């Protein structure tokens, strides 16, 4: 689920990122402690890099 990051799994706080979550009573919680291999970590980092590149491309348009 794409939600604002809280720093979990090496993300930077505030970026909207897709995490494994559980939902109960309308509230979500990021699933913590998943064992990620090097390939998965590298793909997650590539996604984060792309998100920040996209933001940099429109930064002058942001307030």
Give pLDDT, residue 20.
95
Give pLDDT, residue 22.
97
Give pLDDT, residue 25.
96
Give pLDDT, residue 63.
82
Longest Cα–Cα distance of the chain, Å, equals 39
Cα dist from 40 to 1, 9, 30, whole Å: 17, 11, 17
Residue 15 is given by DSSP the state S
What residue ranges of the chain have pLDDT lower than 70?
none
Tally of domains in the chain = 1
Tell me how far apart the alpha carbons of residues 12 and 44 are, in angstroms, rounded to a whole number: 12
Give pLDDT, residue 28.
97
Range of the domain at 40: 2-61
Tell me how far apart the alpha carbons of residues 21 and 8 are, in angstroms, rounded to a whole number: 12
């Amino acid at each position: 689920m794409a939600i604002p990051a809280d720093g979990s799994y090496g993300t930077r706080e505030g970026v909207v990122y897709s995490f494994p979550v559980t939902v109960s009573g309308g509230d979500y919680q990021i699933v913590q402690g998943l064992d990620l291999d090097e390939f998965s970590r590298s793909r997650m980092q590539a996604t984060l890099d792309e998100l920040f590149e996209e933001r940099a491309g429109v930064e002058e348009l942001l307030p």
